[in-house]
Chains A and B, each alone.
Chain A
């Protein structure tokens, strides 16, 4: 896989200039809140359409403002778990899970049976979304996106709303998804520890500008000060 993203976008009071390529596995997108991480994911997913952008996934151009190409959101097959999860509150767990996959009978590993077993949510499937705990909601959102058989995964702060204990429980699920499904993933977080735990390389975004690191450890080796500044600790 290869993902190429070039963005030069301006919204009122904010400019996003990013040029990066991701090869495989999980690529961390790191920066403090307001840096432009979610805007970047929205551009990749096609939810935001900036004046200048270029997005290419596995050789297919999805957005090319110069060439007048814009593949609609629903045809991109980009799975997006947004920060608030965006589970549909009026639908059952089952109907949420099957929303992006009409029958859940996709070939392995994308079947309903397999995904719900992997994420340990099989017993929840007949429940209502409104009756689930935070960790359960998180796993249902991950399962729903996997069942839509995406070509690229966008995970926006998937652990941000969980306490430390739950984070430690969800991380193995994220590793499992990464290793078993092999779907290239952009993993947004403002926590360097999550980057180290999950990502092969990292795109750091600061005030709308990005630069790439080869490994997450580089955040500590060379840019300790930047890391703490970006987290807002300094």
Chain B
């Protein structure tokens, strides 16, 4: 079935995509909530900046990340010289590239989900003595959970398929930064089409599984649970 080298690529991709998902979940939810409920100066600018990675060429985003995180970049230089910690061309760079590229999908989906929760329910919860965090965790988040799960899965699927930014900032190092899409590209470059097709099938299968599992997790049309 799946050969050990394929298994290794698959595992690396899924683990790094999951890590990137964990990394963006809390800030993504917070930003989505602020965008859905708040009314503040500069909101449209922040919305645009958050959406940029969706519209920009991923390679350009990758170049920006490289300029920031590389050994001579603003952040990368500091980390390399002070704490001897490298990001560019390691698995960490893959996680960051995945996170940046999938962040807009998470934020936009969750923002829509939060906006659809009746603000009256939140206000009435406050009149019953609930603090803002309690209102969020007992009212807003449970009522928006379908959208939040959907947003997470979209972001996860986007992370699995990340190519452009990853290859710029993390390169294609077998066993360390070579995720599924990079491996597919590499195999096609080498003319090993049969192997590339196997990898392609694997990526279709795991994306299918992720989306299908998400649909199972939150059944459509059953918003009211215990």
Spell out A's residues near B (CB within 8 Å): 45, 47, 72-80, 82, 84, 86, 88-92, 99-100, 128-130, 144-145, 148
Contacts and interface: CB of A to CB of B under 8 A. Distances in A.
Contacts of B223: 89-90
A219 B131 CA distance: 41
Contacts, number: 63
A84 B224 CA distance: 17
Nearest to A42: B123
A74 B118 CA distance: 18
A33 B66 CA distance: 60
Interface SS of B by simple majority:
helix
Contact of B143 (A47, A73, A90, A145): A90
Interface string B108-139: 00000000001011011111111100000011
A100 B142 contact: no
Contacts of B127: 45, 47, 73-74, 76, 78-80, 100, 148
Interface of B: 118, 120-121, 123-131, 138-139, 142-143, 223-226
Given A76-B127, A82-B124, A88 B226 contact: no
A74 B130 CA distance: 6
Given A88-B138, A128-B224, A148-B129, 15 more contacts: A47-B123, A74-B128, A77-B129, A78-B127, A80-B124, A82-B124, A84-B120, A86-B123, A89-B143, A90-B223, A100-B127, A100-B128, A100-B130, A128-B226, A145-B128
Given A90-B142, A128-B224, A129-B224, A82 B120 contact: yes
A100 B138 CA distance: 12
A130 B143 CA distance: 14
Contact of B131 (A47, A74, A88, A90): A74
B33 to A, nearest CB: 17
A144 B128 contact: yes
A77 B130 CA distance: 11
Nearest to B125: A99
